[in-house]
């Protein structure tokens, strides 16, 4: 595996994730999440938007001071005031980065009231300014996917010439599809002079449920930085979920020979912490980190995994740090699962005893959605009392 195949993970839980209405985190919580992200091996942490508020500025500055390994990045609009404020916050980091952006699509140009040439001028002066402050500068043409292709190539070239070291291509409104996501990255890498000197990043939103697929397609086309958040937290339908892209790259290395620096065994703990501090619970059937992602209830599935776990599992729960059992007892469960579960609880049953308990277990499961260990222990006490 060569370095060309190393994909950098840029986590923006604390910036784009926290922008979700209602997901505000306290200063202490942000510092804790940043420390966990750093420990997990995230390459770049986007810690906030320093000009947005005093609180954001303090959080980015303190995260910059405390972080040992990851690059610490702050967001700034395309003006000197934002960029200076961002630099003031990130400059304390061992490895600081300024991320500056401007909306380049016709819709966004309309909002900033800049024509194409004026915007080119603005990009040139703001990226040059950022580069004079910091040797690690990321530039994003917001709404890149809906920007005219020729104009997109032109502004990317200007940003590279002005000193950007990472070019991020955001699908700001979650509009693209995998084929287009790949095509845009490939085209930019092929046609923009200087493209081979920078890293291309992909930043996808999930409005059509495509964020993970679009990010992976961009990587196949040459992007080497994925921007993502824990649990896919983010505005509207969220951002690319870190756990999904990282595990997809790990599980399908046969088709996608890329590697990240993530210690995947730390994913579950981070997912739970982000859900707690953001107040955004994870849906039960969410890929990788949902409560049900590794649970089997139906008799056929339980029997399968008890005989060979690979029959219904494409990755090991332990790989993402799950230590709990993968068998859920319920009305679809079969005898084999009940026997195995009771054995785990210390009850070794003869076949006739199992038959008796199984009948009563099914009756209970018809009345109760979830069967806990305590319910099974109570069933066993009842059968002891009845014999
Ligand atoms: O979605 C987006 O375009 C963004 C930019 C600020 C990079 O979050
Ligand atoms: Zn975004």
Per the annotation, does 239 bind a ligand?
Answer: yes
Residue 344 predicted with pLDDT over 70: yes
Q: What residues form DSSP beta bridges with 140? A: 101
* Residue 386: per-residue pLDDT: 57
- For ligand 1, whether the C-beta of 126 sits within 6 Å is no
pLDDT one-digit tens code per residue, 145-171 = 999 999 999 999 999 999 999 999 999
- For ligand 1, whether the C-beta of 19 sits within 6 Å is no
- For ligand 1, whether the C-beta of 172 sits within 6 Å is yes
CB-neighbour burial class of residue 196 (10 A; exposed 0-12, middle 13-18, buried 19+) = exposed
Between 119-128, 183-192, 264-273, 366-375, the lowest mean confidence (pLDDT) is in: 366-375
Q: pLDDT class for 70, splitting at 50, 70, 90?
A: very high
Residue 262 predicted with pLDDT over 90: yes
DSSP state of 17: I
Please state, for a pLDDT cut of 90, what percent of the chain lies above it. Answer: 81
Ligand 1, atom 8: closest residue by C-alpha:
16
pLDDT one-digit tens code per residue, 239-255 = 999 999 999 999 999 99
Q: Token digits for 329?
A: 């007892």
* Residue 384: per-residue pLDDT: 63
Per the annotation, does 205 bind a ligand?
Answer: yes
Per the annotation, does 16 bind a ligand?
Answer: yes
**What are the angstrom distances between the C-alpha of 217 and each of 16, 204, 213, 244, 313?**
21, 11, 6, 13, 24
* Residue 301: per-residue pLDDT: 84
Tokens 């061992």, residue located:
94
pLDDT one-digit tens code per residue, 81-124 = 999 999 999 999 999 999 999 999 999 999 999 999 999 999 99
Q: pLDDT class for 207, splitting at 50, 70, 90?
A: very high
Q: Which numbered atom of ligand 1 lies nearest the CA of 16?
A: 8
Ligand 1, atom 2: closest residue by C-alpha:
172
Ligand 1, atom 5: closest residue by C-alpha:
142
- For ligand 1, whether the C-beta of 52 sits within 6 Å is no
Of all ligands present, the nearest one to the C-alpha of 140 is 1
Please state, for a pLDDT cut of 70, what percent of the chain lies above it. Answer: 98
Q: Which numbered atom of ligand 1 lies nearest the CA of 143?
A: 3
* Residue 383: per-residue pLDDT: 67
Residue 2 predicted with pLDDT over 60: no
Question: Region 62-87: what's the mean pLDDT?
Answer: 98
* Residue 71: per-residue pLDDT: 98
Select from 310, 302, 355 the least CA-distant residue to 333. 302
Model pTM?
Answer: 0.91
Residue 336 predicted with pLDDT over 90: no
Question: Could you count the other beta carbons within 10 Å of the beta carbon of residue 370?
Answer: 10
Of all ligands present, the nearest one to the C-alpha of 101 is 1
Q: pLDDT class for 316, splitting at 50, 70, 90?
A: very high
Residue 387 predicted with pLDDT over 60: no
Per the annotation, does 11 bind a ligand?
Answer: no
Ligand 1, atom 1: closest residue by C-alpha:
172
* Residue 232: per-residue pLDDT: 98
Complex prediction ipTM: 0.99
Tell me the CA–centroid distance for residue 362 and ligand 1, in Å: 51
Tell me the CA–centroid distance for residue 172 and ligand 1, in Å: 6
Question: Region 18-45: what's the mean pLDDT?
Answer: 97
* Residue 134: per-residue pLDDT: 98
Helix, strand or coil, per DSSP, at residue 20? coil
Q: pLDDT class for 310, splitting at 50, 70, 90?
A: confident
- For ligand 1, whether the C-beta of 108 sits within 6 Å is no
In which element (H, E) is residue 228 found? strand 225-228
**What are the angstrom distances between the C-alpha of 254 and each of 9, 214, 248, 251?**
20, 19, 11, 8
Tell me the CA–centroid distance for residue 11 and ligand 1, in Å: 13
What is the Cα–Cα distance from 304 to 311, expressed in whole angstroms?
6
């Amino acid at each position: 595996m060569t370095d060309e195949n190393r994909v950098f993970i840029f986590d923006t839980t604390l910036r784009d994730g926290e922008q979700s209405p209602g997901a505000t985190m306290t200063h202490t919580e942000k510092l804790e999440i940043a420390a966990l992200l750093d420990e997990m091996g995230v390459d770049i942490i986007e810690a906030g938007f320093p000009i947005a508020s005093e609180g954001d500025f303090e959080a980015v500055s303190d995260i910059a001071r405390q972080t040992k390994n990851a690059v610490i990045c702050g967001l700034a609009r395309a003006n000197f005031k934002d960029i200076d404020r961002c630099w003031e916050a990130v400059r304390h980091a061992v490895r600081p980065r300024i991320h500056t952006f401007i909306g380049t699509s016709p819709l966004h140009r309309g909002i900033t009231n800049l024509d194409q040439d004026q915007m080119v001028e603005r990009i040139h002066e703001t990226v040059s300014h950022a580069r004079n402050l910091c040797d690690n500068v990321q530039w994003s043409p917001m709404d890149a996917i809906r920007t005219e292709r020729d104009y997109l190539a032109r502004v990317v070239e200007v940003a590279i010439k002005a000193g950007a070291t990472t070019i991020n291509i955001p699908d700001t409104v979650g509009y693209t599809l995998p084929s287009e996501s790949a095509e845009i990255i490939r085209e930019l890498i092929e046609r923009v002079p200087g493209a081979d000197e920078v890293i291309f990043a992909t930043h996808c939103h999930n409005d059509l449920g495509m964020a993970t697929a679009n990010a992976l397609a961009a990587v196949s086309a040459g992007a080497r930085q994925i921007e993502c958040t824990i649990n896919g937290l983010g505005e509207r339908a969220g951002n690319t979920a870190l756990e999904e892209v990282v595990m997809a790259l790990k599980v399908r290395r046969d088709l996608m020979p890329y590697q990240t620096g993530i210690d995947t065994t730390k994913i579950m703990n981070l997912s739970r912490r982000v859900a707690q501090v953001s107040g955004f619970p994870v849906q039960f059937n969410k890929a990788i980190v949902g409560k049900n992602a590794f649970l089997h209830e139906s008799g056929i599935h339980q029997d399968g995994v008890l005989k060979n776990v690979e029959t219904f599992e494409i990755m090991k729960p332990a790989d993402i740090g799950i230590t709990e059992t993968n068998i859920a007892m319920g009305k679809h469960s079969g005898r084999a699962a009940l026997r195995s579960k009771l054995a785990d609880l210390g009850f070794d049953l003869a076949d006739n005893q199992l038959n008796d308990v199984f009948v009563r277990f099914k009756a209970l499961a018809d009345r109760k959605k979830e069967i806990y260990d305590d319910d099974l222990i109570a069933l066993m006490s009842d059968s002891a009392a009845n014999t």
